[in-house]
Amino acid sequence: MEEKHAESEFEQMAIEEVVYGNQHALNVLLDLLIEKGVISEQEFKDKIDQMIEDSPELDEVNLDSPEDFKD
């Protein structure tokens, strides 16, 4: 049982590392786009809000906080 828990915890850590890496890369890209004047920060925020509003899967998304993963 303990081995299964350790494996699950390891998998969760791996997923978090991938998510963190992707988020970091997206933040760098966004900073560059704003710096170069391709898009303003407000245009980006408006686009994200619109995409969330238009998303048919919004009700299906489960946003878990880090506390949800603690035993």
Domain spans of the chain?
2-55
Q: Looking at residue 12, what is its pLDDT?
A: 83
Phi, psi values for residue 64, rounded to 5°: -95, 140
Question: Taking the complete model, does pTM exceed 0.75, yes or no?
Answer: no
Across the 71 residues of the chain, what is the mean pLDDT of every consecutive 10-residue run? Answer: 71 87 91 94 90 74 54 46
Does the CA dihedral 25-26-32-38 come out positive or negative? positive
Q: Looking at residue 58, what is its pLDDT?
A: 60
Helix axes 41-54, 2-35, angle to 10 degrees: 130
Q: Looking at residue 71, what is its pLDDT?
A: 46
